[in-house]
Structure 1
């Protein structure tokens, strides 16, 4: 039977959860996730796990944080003067914002603390520093490399 390999376009069904059982994402109720193996379109640990699977195969994998969204970096948390946040934005804990980096690209950030003078923001991915568990089914190899 054919196995998925680097360069193949594949479709998977998946359910992702944290090690404490908290669900964070699933393809249930949606079309299977389609991506090209080896192109960095999904987290490295999931890409590596699907490589070698045969269509119809189901498995569960625990992906360590360094093969998922990386470590939680303390230097990605910053405190800004409240005046630097544009007027008219309702700021509360959990608010998603975007910051412009030095090279002009947009960086998603999340408000994690605030007071009258400052806003504390976190640029870490919400799943950074967490090991992830995925139930995976390789639905099909759409296009072989």
Structure 2
């Protein structure tokens, strides 16, 4: 049995990652709390484009990928920007630009919205992913690669 299983479909992967913007500012990192991410390829925890970056890597590999908006979090969609009356927010809530608030959906789930502006009685809320429209740098370090559940069945 070899120690260097190559990442493919259904593999369990333990990795550290840093997600940065082109200007070098940090967007997300597993290193902040020194807690690597654990995921199974194809489980939906990463988008297909992020998963594609991992294919072919093995334990110990470190690699950096630059992904344009189309391959990362998509372009900002103007249909996801909504203008709301300030009265829809609690009277005790100081609505300020840059705030992220949870908004209830009809099915009971919540979706985050970023306050883009609050002027007079109008509040502009952006429901796009916070990194939509951004080129990102995806730095990964593969800690471990394990066979997928289907491969452990013993054929």
TM above 0.5, yes or no, is yes
- TM-fit CA distance, 1:143: 4.3
Name which of 37, 42, 45 aligns with 1:41. 45
Secondary structure of 1:3's aligned partner: coil
Q: State yes or no: 1:110 paired with 2:114.
A: yes
Deviations 1:95-135 (A, max 9, x none): 11122234433111011101121111110111001111111
Deviations 1:43-100 (A, max 9, x none): 3322111121111111111122222211111111111111111232221111111222
1:79 matched residue in structure 2: 83
> Does the Cα contact within 8 Å between 1:44 and 1:68 map onto a contact in 2?
no
CA distance in 2, matches of 1:38, 1:139: 18
Secondary structure of 2:44's aligned partner: coil
Structure 1 outlier segments of 4+, above 2 Å:
100-105, 142-145
Q: State yes or no: 1:15 paired with 2:18.
A: yes
TM-score (norm 2): 0.85
TM-score (norm 1): 0.90
**Which sections of structure 2, spanning at least 5 residues, go unmatched?**
150-155
**Which sections of structure 1, spanning at least 5 residues, go unmatched?**
none
Q: State yes or no: 1:3 paired with 2:25.
A: no
Q: Name the larger-Rg structure.
A: 2
